[in-house]
Amino acid sequence: MKFKMTTLSLMFALGLGQIGCQPASSGDALNEETSAAIEDGASEDIADHIHNDSEEAIDPEIESLGCVRASSSQKAQVNLGNTKEEEFLQRCAKETNNSSWCSQLVRPNKNSASTFRCTYGSSQEHQLIHPDEKTWQYPIAGVKILQDLSAKGIKISHIYNWWRPEPYNKNVGGAKGRHPYGTSIDVRFASNSEADRAFRELCKMRAKKRLRAIGHYGSASLHIGVGDKTANTWGKSCN
């Protein structure tokens, strides 16, 4: 008798159905000093994660078996950050002349909403603000960089990532030393060619030490690492 086996039924047949969404251990909670985000003299290389979750969400069937759930202490960090929303937005507005991009900083990538729910539960507000106010300088500096790029005629679509704490960052495939520290933003430009134009300008800014890392995803999206620990580029090298 012929039959068609779905992805899920195949996984259960192989004994993978017992994995489920596992709670994160208490050791996974944010416990590193924010100052560790800056490391002068970090090595220069082009090897890093090629991750771009602006294009698509994780497959729901795989997600249901592999998503790591946040621990109570990790949820508490997220909730603490959310209590500081107005304070953050007011500071960002004051320092950027009321840029509309400020509100985009606190909004996680909409295409990863299902992963966010799997990580934190369906009742958690889809919002992320780093609770450590010392980190706020980095996304605000990122907005100022975007303002300068826009002034040069480079068309920007939106910001889709700032702080991605663990284990949400792990669930979307992010590198450990970037977004979990709140030192960088991911930005989608109007087109691939606009992203290429932005990349060239960002390389000039990096040479002047205005930012530390740039990730080129080979699409219309770029990683802007204002205060990343590792000062490098990946996906494409600055000439």
Per-residue pLDDT of 156-173, as tens digits, reads 999 999 999 999 999 998
For residue 220, is it within any domain?
yes
Mean pLDDT of 13-24: 42
Mean pLDDT of 30-44: 39
Per-residue pLDDT of 58-88, as tens digits, reads 545 445 557 899 999 999 999 999 999 999 9
At residue 102, does pLDDT exceed 80? yes
Q: Which domain holds residue 208?
A: 55-234
DSSP H stretches of helix in the chain: 7-13, 60-66, 72-82, 85-95, 101-105, 113-120, 137-151, 168-171, 192-207
For residue 25, is it within any domain?
no
pLDDT of residue 177: 82
Residue with tokens 């826009």: 150
Q: What whole-number distance in Å separates Cα of residue 68 and Cα of residue 35?
A: 27
Q: What whole-number distance in Å separates Cα of residue 27 and Cα of residue 233?
A: 30
Q: What is the pTM of this model?
A: 0.79
For residue 78, is it within any domain?
yes
Number of domains comprising the chain: 1
pLDDT band at 4 (very low <50, low <70, confident <90, very high): very low
For residue 87, is it within any domain?
yes
37 compared with 234, residue with greater pLDDT: 234
